[in-house]
Amino acid sequence: MLKTNKTTVFEQSLSYYFLILFSIIPITIILGSSISLSNILLIDISFIILILVKKDFLFLKSKTIIYLLILYLYLIFNSLISLDYTSGVYRNLGFIRMIVLFAAFNYFFRQQLFLKKVLTIWSIVLFSIIIDIFVEFYMGKNILGYGGDQYGQRIVSFFKDEPIVGGFVNSFYLIIFGFLFNQFRGDYKNLVLIFLVIFFIAIFLTGERANSIKAIFGLFVFFFLLKENSFKKKVIYFFSILSLIFILTINSEYLKVRYLLQIQSHFTKNPIYFKIYESGFEVFKQYKFFGVGNKNYRVETCNQKEKEKKEKYICTTHPHQIYFEMLSEHGLLGTGLLFFIFFKLIFSKIIKIFRYDNYIQIGSLIYLISIFLPLIPSGAFFGDHMLTLFVINLSILYSSSNKLNIFNS
């Protein structure tokens, strides 16, 4: 009896321990890549010890894990054939942490109470950031005094050093509202929809054009997949939102510059993104089959001798668009393999997931699809920040569903 009580106390303590680590994931991302990485490694190491103690290895036979391991082996191969293997080898070898994190999500989030507690805390964190975005937009500084003229009045919120808060909110807000809609789809559904719109407006106010386009796409798809309202109401709601952001834009000099004048300039006077895309395509033409290697785009385009030979090269860290990034760094063969794996992990599940009545899962799926929208500028896919947000959403996609969770299959 005493042993049973001790076991119960230990299991409860272990559950609280993992609950804290998963709950603070959004906060650690805000605090920086080193803190986020430390938290992920802590989850991974603790989870590996737990699995070894419990001897629960059946999940390794899951097709999903097998696809992720194939991706990992490919990335190691990609390092070996890179222009400079030292540039990308640590990024590629470190991808294993994301596979373990994915498995840990599935292990713990199959418990609905655990899932509910974590997403409740994530909701509080996201609501706090939304309030902070509005404060910074209207007051010029955020709650902690960050922001101002450092990035041309771009909203930074708690990120302080980078104007990336819109992309951060975009990666979580549909998960959160899927969760809230699952919880309050009855009498409070209209209130949840109002909060959804407020979150979207906050993303728009950051002035991050690419993430605003992705957010519009996400809002549109999420809205029209809701079963609770008629098609006519959905159309009215959606165009009312578009009208609202138009009014906000024409009444704000900052938004007019970001969404009207600068976009016009990018297409006419200084089409910088198209020049970067062209540079990415030029690199691909030189290394058609395997590319230059992960994180080696800069090695090629910033090489002075290569720049002199190839006028279309623009020295930058990556091509700022996922398709040109894949083609230039992985070539036709690598890109083909990567997109085959993405298709099996994500796109092959679309019809099934849209049939499920699980809006958390639908929210994460919409975000994952938005990453692959053509021609939209994006961060480096295999960079720490982007990859972490991608894996979190992929993990939620599988772990929040009994039918896809790798520990149930």
Residues 6+ apart with CB under 8 A from 57: 51
Has residue 142 got a pLDDT over 90? no
The Cα 216–Cα 95 span in angstroms is 30
* 3-class DSSP assignment, residue 153: coil
Query: Rounded to two decimals, what is the model's pTM?
Result: 0.93
For 350-394, the pLDDT digits (tens) are: 988 988 889 999 999 999 999 999 989 899 999 999 999 999 999
Least confident stretch, 70-84, 218-232, 279-293: 218-232
Select the highest-mean-pLDDT range: 269-278, 334-343, 346-355, 377-386: 334-343
> Closest Cα to residue 197, out of 240, 230, 165?
240
At 95 the pLDDT is 93
Has residue 256 got a pLDDT over 50? yes
Domain ranges of the chain: 2-163+269-399
At 149 the pLDDT is 65
146 confidence band (pLDDT: 50, 70, 90): confident
The Cα 396–Cα 390 span in angstroms is 10
Has residue 8 got a pLDDT over 60? yes
Higher pLDDT: 19 or 409? It is 19
**Burial call 254-268: b when 16+ CB within 10 Å, e when fewer:** ebeebbeeeeeeeee
For 172-220, the pLDDT digits (tens) are: 999 999 999 888 876 777 788 888 889 999 999 998 999 999 999 998 8
